[in-house]
Amino acid sequence: NNTIDTVQQIIKIRETKTDTVKLTEPAKKLDFNYADMPEDQILFGIGKSDIQSIYEGRLNFNADILRKNPDVQVMITGHTDATGSKAINEKLSMQRAEAVSFYLMKKGVPAKQIVVNSLASDDPAVAGSTQTARSQNRRVVLKLRQMEK
């Protein structure tokens, strides 16, 4: 099996701790289950839906994966902390998810690879009402997954 041979060659390179070992065949694309990748998070300021520049690298990384793998999609879920009314939080969580979606589309990700959802304050990442807990709940979660065929 070519994939097993390639993986064994990569292990050999790591064991010898050198970059001078050459592969006898070109590396093959390895099957990868994107459901195994951990979720990614983008945090937001109070009442804000604009993406902070510190998260552009993460988003660019996700966009690159999506552009190179048309059979992968991203589930983008917006969240808020528990302050504010339910109506405001529902609107804000969707605005956050859409901001991330628009960013990825501007980076060349087709809309068919993006699924947008919002949960407002219904699924907190951190329990509690401290400033730190609330700041961790103002987020968008990105989860990559294989597209259903």
Q: CA 128, 55, 77, 91 torsion: positive or negative?
A: positive
Confirm if 66 and 113 have CB atoms less than 8 A apart.
Answer: yes
Residue-wise pLDDT tens digits, 75-105: 999 999 999 999 999 999 999 999 999 999 9
Percent helix, strand and coil across the chain, each to the nearest 5: 45, 20, 40
pLDDT range class, residue 31, cuts 50, 70, 90? low
pLDDT for position 36: 76
This prediction has a pTM of: 0.77
Confirm if 78 and 69 have CB atoms less than 8 A apart.
Answer: no
Residue 117: pLDDT over 80: yes
Confirm if 21 and 6 have CB atoms less than 8 A apart.
Answer: no
